Amino acid sequence: MAQFLRTTPSSLQRDLKAFVAGGILEQRREGTRAYFKADTRSPLFADLHGLVEKTSGLLPTLHRLLEQFDTRVDVAFVYGSIARGEEHATSDVDLLVIGAVGLAELAPALRKVEEHLGREVNVTSYSQAEFRTKVGVGDHFLTEVLRGSKQFVKGGQRDLDEVVGKPRRSKASNIQKGTR
């Protein structure tokens, strides 16, 4: 680990000890080995997790992947355990892509993303028409995905509603209903 971080083992040990003492990392020992992980109870955890996620994490990596298909991807989002914030070290990434790009085109780029993230990425891809049809007939899988938490990689909830065919509500109609 010290070699990967380009530091000396003694400096790394000192820093890890300080992070454990500061409540940022948890440590457990198995024989002579020490294992460290982020202390999710730390008041700094949410901020540090957010910083890592925004700079080199999952969503920016997936966004870079989809940039090469930009005009052909209408909406893309992560769903499942990661979107719910229930991820663990072995969680796979569930990605739903709506647009004119298929799995065969995404596969080569996905392999690189999986290597970078160290996680399997499971992609479900639909054209707009197919997605709208399946949602319209109450497809169980899509109903559950749409009901659950989502982290958008491309587009947002409004774009997804447009694909589904939900009418856009104007501010005026929200004000009339008292829902600003």
d(CA 61, CA 67): 10
142 token code pair: 């899509």
Residues 38 and 69 in one domain: no
Nearest to 89 by CA among 97, 81, 78: 81
- The answer to whether the pTM exceeds 0.95 is no
pLDDT category at 56 given cuts 50, 70, 90 is low
pLDDT category at 171 given cuts 50, 70, 90 is low
**pLDDT tens profile 99-154:** 999 999 999 989 988 888 888 999 999 999 999 999 999 999 999 999 999 999 99
Residues 26 and 61 in one domain: no
**pLDDT tens profile 145-168:** 999 999 999 999 999 999 998 766
CATH code assigned at 115: 3.30.460.10
Residues 6+ apart with CB under 8 A from 17: none
Contact 65, 114 (CB under 8 A): no
Residues 36 and 78 in one domain: no
Contact 92, 119 (CB under 8 A): yes
The confidence score (pLDDT) of residue 52 equals: 72
Classify residue 2: in a domain, yes or no.
no
Domain coverage including residue 28: 9-46
